[in-house]
Structures are given as C-alpha cells and as structure tokens.
Amino acid sequence: MDHSQPPDSVSLYPGITAGVNPVNALLVVDMQVDFLTGSLAVPDGPSVVDPVKDIIGLPFHFRYASKDWHPRGHISFASTHPGKEVFGRTTIYPPEDLVKAKGQDTSTIGERGLEQVLWPDHCVQGTLGAQLIDPLHEDRFDAIILKGVDPGVECYSAFKDPWGLLVTNLEELLKERGVTDLYVVGVAGDYCVKESAMDAIKFNVWNTWVVKEGVRSVSTEGKEWETMKSAGIGIIDTVRELKVK
Ligand code: VGL
Ligand code: ZN
C-alpha cells in the first residue's frame, strides 16, 4: 500500500475507513525550548517551528501537545548517575514500587532492564526550558499531555512508558473523541515522535501519519523513518501534501 499520501477512502484497519467521515487529530510532540534551542537542542531545531505552526493552523478536529516534564534528578539525566557522561548509556530497570502497584511480578525486574541514553538535564518541570517554544501557545491545544513525570521512569511516548507502568490520558482522549486519523509532528523524530507514533499504530484504532517537514531528530542518520514506515505508519513528506479533510 502507498503510504505517501493520506488515502481518499481506504481502510487501513478493520472498522476504520479513512477519508469518509474522518475525525482528524494532531499530536505536536515536545516542541519545547530545551529541544529546539536549549540544553538538548536537535540539529536544525529552530527551522521546524514554522512548519509546525502552519500544521497547527490546519483544520484538525482536535489538537494535542505533549511536553517532556521531568522532576529534578530524573533517571534519564546523566547528572543523576555519578561518573557517567552525557550521551553515555546505562541500563535502567522498572521501579519496584510501581511494578508492585501494577500488580506485576517483582521477581522479573532484573530481566526487564532497558538501555537508556543519558541526557543533559532538560525539560525540568516549571523551568523556561520546559516551556513550549515561542510562538506556539498552550491555548491552541485541546489538551497538554505531560510525560516523564516520574523520577524513576523514562517515557518517550506520549501514551505510556516502555514497561506500561504509567499511562497518560492520550489514548482515552483519542478514543472518547472517535479519532480516526492521528497526525504526528515535533521533536525528537528518533525518540519521542517515533515512540508516540509506534504506540499509536499498535492500538489498531486510528490511522497514524507523521509529517516529515514538521519533525527534527537527534541523529541525522534517519533510521526512524524506515522503522515507522515498516510498522504501517504513513509518512507524509511536506506540509503542502498534508490535506486535512
Ligand atoms: C526526548 C530525549 C529525552 C524527546 C525526550 O522528546 O524526543 N528525547 N527526552
Ligand atoms: Zn526527556
């Protein structure tokens, strides 16, 4: 199937016929000062602000923005791991209290480790770096999704952490609103945009599109695009090609 364009009336998933009575939602991922001009700025970050602003102006039924919203001393910060360097790696495990609270087996925690990139401190709750970049404003969105709020859990996806211990209200919002098509833009393409889109497509409830012109990544290798495409996510190259019906 050709995923380069939103379909006119094709069913990608059972029960969903895109283009007939679409309910279109936009997810703007982590368009925050630290990721664009601050401590964890992606290459060429400022140039993505205008395309994202243009996309926000298209006639979506619903618009959501996520914000990375970490407490000081977050597990993903290199500064939290003495002796470790920024952009180094370590293995992190699901916190025992959260595993217990979920009613999951705590004896397997040791097998559930994940490799974690250690980032510079970024998007600390309430700081300037955690604000949406100017000229994007929170009042343009129907809801703001905060993620990475637990000190011990990394959360790239706007839906949930990789262990499924903490979920945001995004899934519920999209289901409540009967969304059929979800469009994703923002930063970073190889982390939070990718993980959010990969989670979105797995729900099998809405078609998922990522608009390349509205995305910048930490790495310039571009491996995320093949990963997303293979998962069935539609890649739309430019804002001009994005026709929101
Ligand atoms: C992100 C690295 C660390 C992102 C968040 O928004 O893609 N990347 N925290
Ligand atoms: Zn983060």
Q: Is the CB of 191 under 6 A from ligand 1?
A: yes
Q: Is the CB of 69 under 6 A from ligand 1?
A: no
Give me the chain's average pLDDT, please.
92
* Residue 24 near residue 60 (C-beta atoms within 8 A): yes
ipTM above 0.85, yes or no: yes
Going by C-alpha positions, the residue among 244, 129, 230, 242 that lies closest to residue 179 is 244
Residues paired with residue 207 on neighbouring β-strands, in sequence order: 181
Supply the residue whose CA is at minimum distance from atom 3 of ligand 1. Answer: 119
pLDDT digits (tens, 9 = 90+) for 40-56: 999 999 999 999 999 99
Cα–ligand 2 centroid distance for 8 (angstroms): 37
User: In this structure, what DSSP letter does residue 21 have?
Assistant: S
Which secondary structure element, helix H or strand E, spans residue 173, and what is its range?
A: helix 170-176
Cα–ligand 1 centroid distance for 16 (angstroms): 31
* Top mutation candidate among 27, 34, 35 for ligand 1, by most atoms within 8 Å of CB: 35
pLDDT digits (tens, 9 = 90+) for 176-221: 999 999 999 999 999 999 999 999 999 998 999 999 999 999 999 9
Residues paired with residue 145 on neighbouring β-strands, in sequence order: 66
Q: Is the CB of 192 under 6 A from ligand 1?
A: yes
Separation of alpha carbons 27 and 182, rounded Å:
7
Give the residue numbers annotated as catalytic, written as ranges.
30, 147, 192
* Residue 224 near residue 67 (C-beta atoms within 8 A): no
Give percent above pLDDT 90 in the chain.
88
Cα–ligand 1 centroid distance for 165 (angstroms): 18
Q: What is the DSSP string of 41-58?
A: PPTTGGGGHHHHHHHHTS
